[in-house]
Amino acid sequence: MNIKQMIANYSLNHYKTVTIVMVIITLGLAAFIPLIKVDTDPENMLSPEEPVKLFHHHTKKQFNLSDIVVLGIVNNKHPDGVFNVDSLAKIYNLTEFSRTLQWPDKNHPDKLSGVVEVDILAPSTVDNIEQGAPGEIRFEWLMSRPPATPEEALSIRDKALSNPLLKGTLISEDGKALCLYLPLTSKDMSYKVYTELKKEIATMPGDEEFYITGLPVAEDTFGVEMFIQMAVSAPLAMLVIFLLMLFFFRKLVLIISPLIVAMVSVISTMGLLIGLGYPVHIMSSMIPIFLMPIAVVDSVHILSEFFGLYTPQKGRRETIREVMDNLFTPMLYTSLTSAAGFISLALTPIPPVQVFGIFVAIGILMAWVWTVLFVPAYVMFISEKNLANFGTAASAEHKQTLLTRLLHSSGRFTYSSAKLIITIMVILTAVAGYGISRIRINDNPVKWFSKSHPIRMADTELNRHFGGTYMAYLVLDTVKEKGVSSEYLQALTQRLKKKSDELKNEFPQVDSAFNEAKTILTQNAPTTNDKDTLLDDMSRFANDKMESLPDHDTMYDIWYELADFFDLEKENLKLFKQPEVLRYLERLQDYLAGIKVNGRTLVGKTNSVSDVVKKVYQELIDGRPENYRIPDTSAAVAQSLLQFQSSHNPDDLWHLVSSDYMHANIWCQLTSGDNMDMNKVIAAVEQFFRDNPPPAPLAHNWAGLTYINTVWQDKMVSGMLQSFMGSFLVVFIMMSILFRSPLWGIICMIPLTITIVLIYGMIGLVGKDYDMPVAVLSSLTLGLAVDFAIHFLERARDTYRQKGSWQASVPEMFGEPAHAISRNVLVIAIGFLPLLAAPLVPYKTVGILLCAIMTVSGTITLLVLPAILRLAEKVLFKPAKQLHGVSCNCAFCLVISISSVLLIAINAHQYFKIGWSKLTWISIVIIPLSALICGIMSRRKACKNL
């Protein structure tokens, strides 16, 4: 008795024990589910040590930046937009309300979390700078209180429009709409803030339209709605699958078993995931959706077979034993291949995808275990009486269904028109190949919502009016030079000389101090670490000199002036106070504003320290437009900035420049959150830096959520591709071993290869973005599409052995085996269509793609495989030589070795980050070596005996 019979017998004899054990294990794991921790932050797609992420957090800390909820207010009914007494009063009240959106932090009870009150950007929280009476500069709140008259309302509009810092950010370019920016202590507060704002807005009837958006809101809201969706979609899919199975098998009592297997697998997988302490991320929330079709597939095969073989004479026990005998091996392999497809995701460098892959794989294996153990046991619970009139024997003989007729005629067609089928497939594949070349890799969390969702609508509306609601930060860092160059020392000495010459009029005794300072300077310079230290030392030296003297001494004044000279030199090292660097920033910003794709501006607005300097300087001079410029001296820059700091919000400056003026942040507002667009901006900026070398050494880096999203997308796409290649090889090796022939292995891979090419070709042709769900579905395709091929080819070989020719086998193959495949296709394809009703786009994508994958792979399996078998009958079914051990087959050995080498290379590249060139060299050595070993093995004595 072999192992499969032992398992079947055990299950049949101890069916009660098996059931009880299953229930206990499932309940045990289900007990962990209440401990669920949810993580809806796409940022966690990157591992915590990811340099990009570390830099992002460093930037946020350095410039006190927060993730921002954007609340836009538009009034299309009033001729002045929102700049009327009523609307502005509402906006004022809403700002006051948003100040209160703070709650005690869960982790730090002494701190508050929610809206960062001091950083709120609203008409009542920003300063207006303007010319007052002649020679007067006026500072005041832009809107200290709601306006009382229409004139006051319009004057607020005009003030805001005349401030370049506010235009496009706070006030729309057309002067009709306003945006409030509510920074959050942490991103995961955004849904709460969003909900509270919506509640408050609901109490404000009127002509205004309120829009809330921003990546944090989109991401957090998606997380919340995703879980609601899971609770609706997954059970709904289950229900439809149930109804379809009821339609096919007509025995309620029987079809409950696949549902139990699916439910048990989903519950125990999720229980295990949660129990092991993993948070449920966007990816892992999709586990049930992915697991369900796979878990159902095997049971449908069993039921189909049972349906076909059952006769009352044989009885359920004998029938199920026969079924298990036929299906055990293909089911084992289909499960292993599906699991392999998913487990390969463990090698992508994205933690949530790793968790997803591993747990789907575990789920698949659990589903397999319960399918082979529980389904037979379940059949034992059904009394024979209940199975009366069940099965093909009872129903089919006299009742040809549409499906069976269709299958039989397509069977005949594959035999008669094999060449035609192959030709059509080749053409289709070529077209799809072209489609793949046009695939557009792009993702945008806001577009995860369907077009009618409030967040998506807000996004469209606000990005039309304003500079953009997607934040990215271009950070410029001073590259400090080590040591003090002789050129610098020389220039510094010259400047010191000039200074002392200037002082000579007032203090004729300056020469002695100058000479003393110069000596110390020349002495210290070569051994000092950097310019700052040198100047600090010199300033301290001059100060010490000064303090050793009584303050009425002339030398006291001279040393004071020299200390000041060195202090000033040190200030001049602070790059972002230097006019030429600020002008460079200005040019970079102009360049950013000019980046266009198809006439569409990508960066709607930028703000930097340059803008602040220009605005304050302009108003300090006389407010005339021509004075909106960077002043000519760094002292004028510093003095303008000090004046800016005498405002209500002095710290606003530190969002744009570090307080040591060594780092600057260009705050970019993008009109689109599409990664594709962000990538274009990144590339354009690289080009700018190549074409325009900065006046001083500057490093540039990006931060901000819009940027972070592009980084994990890149990892996702390349990671997925490599995982896919890896699992493709694993499945191929497994298939070659299963069929004991690399040739059959290749044939088995054909349907899934064509399916994937067609599906992705279609995505390319239709213009659907290749985004996260699409990327993940490639693994599912691999698992599901190969299933059908395995079942079909296994049965084809069995049948051929019995019938002796392919022509004679076709009718049988297009009987029960084809039937099982078609049923599976229909059950899963239709079963997941309810996902289309979901308001979240990734769910729709999964629904459509699952449907397409099942339909295409089923069709290809049933059309192309028989056509190939027909054409290559002689080669494939040649008289069996397989009695030799597998190790004697030189070609087999070689193919397996080469695939294994490639597999290891792909994984090594991904996991240990070994470069491709290195791996190529290693492979060039290993492949001939394994060829040699294969050759020797196949020629050894043991192989010649037979």
Residues at the interface with another protein (CB under 8 A) = 61-62, 64, 100, 117-118, 132-133, 135-141, 144-145, 551, 564, 567-568, 570-572, 577, 620-621, 631, 633-640, 642-643, 645-651, 653-654, 658-660
* Nearest CB to another protein, comparing residues 501 and 660: 660
* Nearest CB to another protein, comparing residues 109 and 205: 109
> Minimal distance in Å, beta carbon 654 to another protein?
7
* Nearest CB to another protein, comparing residues 447 and 577: 577
* Nearest CB to another protein, comparing residues 562 and 862: 562
> Minimal distance in Å, beta carbon 145 to another protein?
6
Tokens standing for 414? Answer: 């594959």
Q: How far is CA 780 from CA 151, 785, 846, 853, in A?
A: 63, 8, 10, 9
φ, ψ of residue 69 to 5 degrees: the values are -95, 130
> Minimal distance in Å, beta carbon 67 to another protein?
17
Asked if residue 554 lies in contact with residue 509, where contact means CB atoms within 8 angstroms, the answer is yes
> Minimal distance in Å, beta carbon 525 to another protein?
20
* Nearest CB to another protein, comparing residues 661 and 788: 661
Q: What is the DSSP letter of 840?
A: B
DSSP-derived 3-state class of residue 441: strand
> Minimal distance in Å, beta carbon 551 to another protein?
7
- Helix pair 816-831, 287-309: axis angle to 10 deg: 150
> Minimal distance in Å, beta carbon 138 to another protein?
5
* Nearest CB to another protein, comparing residues 12 and 65: 65
> What does the radius of gyration of the chain's CA atoms come to, in whole angstroms?
36
Query: Which residues does 183 contact at the CB level (< 8 Å), separation at least 6?
Result: 65, 66, 67, 68, 69, 115, 116, 119, 120
Q: Which of 353, 42, 234, 38 lies closest to 843 in space, CA to CA?
A: 234
What is the spatial order of strands in the sheet that 663-670 belongs to? 603-607, 663-670, 470-478, 698-703
* Distance from C-alpha of 842 to C-alpha of 770, rounded to nearest angstrom: 11
- HSE of 25 in the Cβ direction (CA atoms, 13 Å)? 18
φ, ψ of residue 244 to 5 degrees: the values are -65, -40
Query: Which residues does 792 contact at the CB level (< 8 Å), separation at least 6?
Result: 813, 817, 818, 821, 861, 862, 865
* Nearest CB to another protein, comparing residues 437 and 646: 646
**The dihedral of CA 295, 296, 298, 299: what is its sign?**
positive
Question: Residues 361-371, buried b or exposed e (16+ Cβ, 10 A)?
Answer: bbbbbbbbbbb
> Minimal distance in Å, beta carbon 514 to another protein?
18
Asked if residue 608 lies in contact with residue 615, where contact means CB atoms within 8 angstroms, the answer is no
Query: Which residues does 314 contact at the CB level (< 8 Å), separation at least 6?
Result: 322
* Nearest CB to another protein, comparing residues 10 and 654: 654
Query: Which residues does 158 contact at the CB level (< 8 Å), separation at least 6?
Result: none
* Nearest CB to another protein, comparing residues 637 and 830: 637
Q: Which residues pair with 399 in a beta bridge?
A: none
CA dihedral 565, 567, 569, 574 (to 10 degrees): -160
* Nearest CB to another protein, comparing residues 118 and 925: 118
> Minimal distance in Å, beta carbon 182 to another protein?
15
> Minimal distance in Å, beta carbon 539 to another protein?
9
Q: Which of 910, 860, 935, 939 lies closest to 425 in space, CA to CA?
A: 860
φ, ψ of residue 157 to 5 degrees: the values are -60, -50
> Minimal distance in Å, beta carbon 638 to another protein?
4
Q: How far is CA 543 from CA 304, 537, 567, 570, 635, in A?
A: 95, 10, 11, 15, 22
Query: Which residues does 534 contact at the CB level (< 8 Å), separation at least 6?
Result: 484, 521, 524, 525, 528
Q: How far is CA 119 from CA 196, 326, 793, 878, 889, in A?
A: 19, 69, 66, 78, 73
* Nearest CB to another protein, comparing residues 132 and 885: 132
* Nearest CB to another protein, comparing residues 311 and 639: 639
Tokens standing for 745? Answer: 């292995």
* Nearest CB to another protein, comparing residues 651 and 714: 651
* Nearest CB to another protein, comparing residues 139 and 744: 139
> Minimal distance in Å, beta carbon 643 to another protein?
7
* Distance from C-alpha of 166 to C-alpha of 605, rounded to nearest angstrom: 10
* Distance from C-alpha of 440 to C-alpha of 290, rounded to nearest angstrom: 24
Q: What is the DSSP letter of 482?
A: P
* Nearest CB to another protein, comparing residues 64 and 429: 64
> Minimal distance in Å, beta carbon 185 to another protein?
12
* Nearest CB to another protein, comparing residues 470 and 644: 644
User: Which residue is it, tokens 């606000």?
Assistant: 462
> Minimal distance in Å, beta carbon 510 to another protein?
17
* Distance from C-alpha of 287 to C-alpha of 375, rounded to nearest angstrom: 22
> Minimal distance in Å, beta carbon 127 to another protein?
8
* Nearest CB to another protein, comparing residues 93 and 639: 639
Q: What is the DSSP letter of 346?
A: G
> Minimal distance in Å, beta carbon 228 to another protein?
33
* Nearest CB to another protein, comparing residues 135 and 277: 135
Q: Which amino acid, residue 156?
A: I
**The dihedral of CA 924, 929, 930, 935: what is its sign?**
positive
User: Which residue is it, tokens 């697991």?
Assistant: 291
Q: Which amino acid, residue 769?
A: D
**DSSP string of 89-134, one letter each residue:** HHHHHHHHHHHT-EEE-SS-TTSEEEB-GGG-BSTTTSEEEEE-ST
> Minimal distance in Å, beta carbon 500 to another protein?
17
